[in-house]
Amino acid sequence: MSDMSKPRYLTKDTKGRKLRRPVPQDIQKYVGKTAWVERLGSLSWSDAVERAHLFAVETDTEIKRYRKEAQRAQSPALHIVDEPGCNFSLMDHEVDQLALVYFHRRERDAESEGGYLLDDNDPRFNDLLSDAQHDLGDALNVQKGVDIGLVDGSQKSKHWTCLNLLVKHGYLGKEAILTENGKRYPTEVISNQRFQRLCKLIVRADVERARRVVEAMENGQHPSLSDSFFASALKPGFELEQPLNRSRKTIGDLVRSYRARREKEVGSSRLSQHNIVFRVLEEELGNATLLTNVARDQCQQLADLFVHIPPHVSQHYKSKKLRQAVEAYEAINGNKPNRVSEGRKNLAILQKAFDHAVRQEWIDRNPASNVEIVGPKRAAKYSNSNDGYQPFSTEELQRIFSAPLYTGCLNDEHGATRSGPHIIKRHRYWAPLLALWTGMRMNEILQLEKGDLRQADRIWYVSVNDTEEIDYEPDTFVKRLKNKNSERDIPLHPELIRFGFIDWADKQDKGRLFPEASQGLADKPSTMFSKRFKTFLTSLDILVPRKKVFHSFRSNFNDALREAGVPQEFRVAINGWTEQNAMDGRYGKGYKVRQLYEEIQKVKYPSLDLRSLYQAEH
């Protein structure tokens, strides 16, 4: 059965999964193709789904951008436009260096063309002098226009010179200033005060260069320098204070590189926690933004957004960007989410991502290193600090195992809480019983395979491991353990035999005992089951968020072990709190199962009557 619908644009052919979205007909001639296509390679299903959502957002943006370009193409006037995702930053010392480089190169070009001195007997001399004087006059007029903020053809030409200078030295990507239809003048750059200062310095460089040509021709000697700002550019061996050829790596490069690194370091569950951060980077800054252009204040804005992102945003707001999701949440609830703790977790991921960029020498410093999320300090509470998950009371356990799921329901999905004629023994039926009598974690139960039920010394036990019994379709099922100590053997309590668990399991096919326990869009089946079990507890008026949940069965079991006088060394082995090898070395594997069985059969739940669940022969 399926608990999810396939995301838009996600398809599959003989080469594997891919994303494909047709280009609207009205912009096909501007895009230059009829569809956007992206191969997904070896991405897992959950990553492919996440990428599909981002693909939809990115292509939505592309459609809007190309429609703007189509409108501009229909207008004869050249407009300065604001392009989304064009982030730009420039420091004062970088402005100075760019202007010095520009002047130095113009001087170097003059030397390569023969220098300043010309033979005054050359028949072209007077015409050349007149041209030089005219060039100086033009340069001075441009300077006046720039000084008063006039934008005409000549000033726009200087803007274009400066934009190209920024592209050449890595402060802008070429896509920021060029489209298939011609030049682009991004407002975010043009209106920047440091860009305007750069334009003024470039115009000063042109004025000084033109003045030097006229002086050399009029005086017949090498010209002097009038504008002292450019003095260092004329010194022999002129070098920049620091290299200007900055890294061309982008936000998209960072996301791909850091994701690939983390895939090698952590499991998919931990990796999925990074997806919101990657999505924020792509939506807020843009994949094409150069890393060198990301400033601290932008990272602070990202951190502020982290705090307000609604829970389960990818599931509940599938068609919306994150900021739109925040607005939608506020419209429904009257205020934005205030998830300071979650925001700090995402900020830590963001900071580590930029640390990765620093290690790769893509940027010199981490722009997020001094960013912080400030939240109200909560008074320390000591009375409940060590309570953790609370065990269910005997009365609550009786209610759980007297619910329609165990006495007769409509079905074990949406009809599990309604009385009916069916007792359906699948994961929703067996998981609570196994947890109560073995102490196993939710995901450990849901990923059980038939081969995990074994015998030693004529004792049935569960092998908790992360080795798949059979080959499953790629990206559909992977067994996981919480940590290395989780691998262990747990003898089955006699009550589980009386409930008929072994007889039921013996009738199942090889592979997963609970194949219907779908993981949906998540990376493990416990994610979806946890939500359903909370709904189940709510229907019984038992749920206490973060206190009385499925994990409470594990608390019941551990309390029962303790009350039965089971020594601590056995309790930690049964619960997976110590390495299996520690017990193997002391007792031997076969004997260990026998020893554990002797202890585990001591577990009792006084006053809890589950005889109605026994098989007929018991």
Query: Does the pLDDT value for residue 142 go beyond 90?
Result: no
Query: Does the pLDDT value for residue 449 go beyond 90?
Result: yes
Alpha helices, DSSP H, located in 513-600: 525-539, 552-563, 568-575, 580-587, 589-600
Residue pair 255/350 in contact (Cβ under 8 Å)? The answer is no
Give the other-Cβ count within 10 Å of 528's Cβ.
Answer: 18
Question: Which pLDDT value is given to residue 526?
Answer: 82
Range 94-98, long-range pairs (CB < 8 A, 24+ positions):
94/171, 94/244, 95/194, 95/197, 95/198, 95/201, 96/201, 97/240, 97/241, 97/242, 97/244, 98/165, 98/166, 98/169, 98/198, 98/201, 98/244
Question: Which pLDDT value is given to residue 5?
Answer: 57
Q: Which one has a higher pLDDT value, 206 or 66? A: 206
* Confidence bin at 528 (pLDDT 50/70/90): confident
3-state secondary structure 188-256: HHHCCHHHHHHHHHHHHHHHHHHHHHHHHHHHCCCCCCCCHHHHHHHCCCCCCCCCCCCCCCEHHHHHH
* Paired tokens of 459: 């004792």
Residue from 567, 559, 560, 553 nearest 595 by CA = 567
* Paired tokens of 225: 């320098």
* Paired tokens of 209: 């260069």
Question: Which pLDDT value is given to residue 243?
Answer: 46
Single-letter residue type at 34: T
Instruction: Determine the angle formed by the axes of helices 153-168 and 193-219, rounding to 10 degrees.
Output: 100
* Paired tokens of 593: 């199962």
Distance, CA of 439 to CA of 445 (rounded, Å): 10
Single pTM value for the model: 0.47
Residue from 86, 84, 102, 83 nearest 94 by CA = 102
* Confidence bin at 239 (pLDDT 50/70/90): low
Q: Determine the average pLDDT of the residues in 433-461.
A: 95
Distance, CA of 424 to CA of 411 (rounded, Å): 7
- The H or E element containing residue 18 is strand 16-22
Distance, CA of 187 to CA of 79 (rounded, Å): 10
Q: How far is CA 46 from the centre of its chain?
A: 13
Mean pLDDT value across the chain: 83
Question: Which pLDDT value is given to residue 94?
Answer: 83
The topology under which CATH files domain 394-613 is hpI Integrase; Chain A (1.10.443)
Question: Which pLDDT value is given to residue 51?
Answer: 84
What is the per-residue pLDDT across 351-385, written as a single tens digit (0 to 9) for each? 999 999 988 888 888 999 989 998 765 555 554 44
Q: What is the Cβ-side half-sphere exposure of residue 368, based on CA atoms within 13 angstroms? A: 25
Query: Does the pLDDT value for residue 426 go beyond 90?
Result: yes
Domain coordinates in residue numbering, the chain:
1-72, 92-234, 246-378, 394-613
Residue pair 562/571 in contact (Cβ under 8 Å)? The answer is yes
Distance, CA of 554 to CA of 434 (rounded, Å): 10
Single-letter residue type at 511: G
Max CA pair span of the chain: 124
What is the per-residue pLDDT across 564-606, written as a single tens digit (0 to 9) for each? 999 988 998 899 886 555 544 454 444 489 999 999 999 999 9
Residue from 296, 241, 329, 396 nearest 87 by CA = 296
Question: Which pLDDT value is given to residue 556?
Answer: 96
Domains 246-378 and 394-613 share a fold: no
What is the per-residue pLDDT across 115-136, written as a single tens digit (0 to 9) for each? 777 766 777 788 788 888 888 9
Question: Which pLDDT value is given to residue 148?
Answer: 61
Distances (CA, A) of 374 to 304, 337, 371, 407, 427: 9, 15, 10, 51, 43
Query: Does the pLDDT value for residue 185 go beyond 90?
Result: no
Q: Which one has a higher pLDDT value, 489 or 183? A: 489
Q: Which one has a higher pLDDT value, 180 or 343? A: 343
* Paired tokens of 300: 């602070």
For domain 246-378, give the CATH number: 1.10.150.130
b/e 187-213 (16+ beta carbons within 10 angstroms → b): eebbeeebbbebbbbbbbbbbbbbbbb
Residue pair 186/82 in contact (Cβ under 8 Å)? The answer is yes
Cα of first residue to Cα of last residue in the chain, in angstroms, is 33
Q: Which of 145-159, 227-241, 414-428 has the highest mean pLDDT?
A: 414-428
Distance, CA of 365 to CA of 367 (rounded, Å): 6
* Confidence bin at 387 (pLDDT 50/70/90): low
Residue from 105, 316, 123 nearest 205 by CA = 105
Q: Determine the average pLDDT of the residues in 37-46.
A: 83
Total residues belonging to the chain: 618
